[in-house]
Amino acid sequence: MKLILLGPPGAGKGTQAKMLVEEFSIPQISTGDILRAAVKDGTPMGKKAKEYMNTGGLVPDEVVVGIVRDRLQEEDCNNGFILDGFPRTVAQADALQASLQEMSKELDRVISLEVDAEALVERLTGRRTCKECGRGYHVKFDPPREAGICDVCGGTLFQRDDDQEETIRKRLQVYSEQTAPLISYYREAGVLMELDGMQPIPIVKEKILSLLQAS
Ligand code: AP5
Ligand code: MG
């Protein structure tokens, strides 16, 4: 299963990708997670990426294209992968196509999660993530049993630096200008599946699974 989860910030890409990892035993490749780890470790790439991320802009194409090209060569991608947050520009989508061709691989599906802008703001301002295991929560829609503590590993929950309302609005604008064109890009390629992402998390999951099974 070689899959892209497409959708605006807060659409549920990360939430659904983590569930699909368990379902299909294939890795989630989140460029956002990889970049945040680089920022945290203070690597040269992380230092460069930080300013783009904190202001809600996109990290330059050549940086993320290189990350994904290398990641796709790793052995755990042999049976498939879930791309979460990549590609985000037409140039990235073209580069992905070229990398897959070099490896004689083909994309199976692109699932586009559709969610209203105001719901996205509410989801992102209420998002919390575990520092230890990366499990995502929402203070209202998916709260942990104990506030601030991860149900799975007991780690502390934190709020992402870019989940402030002003930065969220900028990210949404960047999405409509630079990433939304990928919907027609993949529709024309015949691999797009559009899904109503406004429903509760378990229902979105079931819908994704039935779409994948039907195809
Ligand atoms: P990235 O980390 O990819 O952030 P994003 O695309 O803005 O997406 P999010 O992670 O915010 O949203 P999500 O769809 O994963 O939602 P989630 O499942 O967490 O990128 C961050 C930054 O890195 C970018 O701004 C850019 O600077 C840089 N970057 C990354 N990739 C790049 C690339 N390819 N090119 C250039 N730059 C790049 O859900 C959100 C919340 O909602 C959670 O609290 C969750 O519990 C809740 N929720 C989820 N589903 C539902 C539901 N169905 N109902 C109710 N609540 C829900
Ligand atoms: Mg995410």
pLDDT tens digit string along 93-128?
999 999 999 999 999 999 999 999 999 999 999 999
Q: What are phi and psi of 107, to 5 degrees?
A: -70, 140
Report which secondary-structure segment, H or E, holds 17: helix 13-24
Q: How far apart are CA 212 and CA 5, in angstroms?
A: 12
pLDDT for 214 equals 82
- Calpha distance 60→78 (Å, rounded): 27
Determine the pLDDT at residue 100.
97
Instruction: Specify the ligand 1 atom closest to the Cα of 127.
Output: 44
Domain coordinates in residue numbering, the chain: 2-26+79-116+179-214
| Sign, Cα dihedral of 43, 45, 51, 54 | negative
Active site residue 36: no
Choose the catalytic residue: 2, 36, 171, 207: 171
Mean pLDDT to the nearest integer, 37-50: 95
Q: Report pTM.
A: 0.96
Distance (angstroms) between ligand 2 centre and the Cα of 132 equals 16
171 is catalytic: yes
Please say if the pLDDT value at position 215 is more than 80. Answer: no
71 annotated active-site? no
Q: How many CB atoms within 10 Å of residue 153?
A: 12
Q: Is residue 24 lining ligand 1, measured as CB closer than 6 Å?
A: no
User: For ligand 1, what atom is nearest to the CA of residue 92?
Assistant: 34
**Is 13 one of the catalytic residues?**
yes
The ligand 1 atom nearest the CA atom of 204: 53
Out of 3.40.50.720, 3.40.50.10490, 3.40.50.300, 3.30.565.10, which CATH number does the structure's domain 2-26+79-116+179-214 have? 3.40.50.300
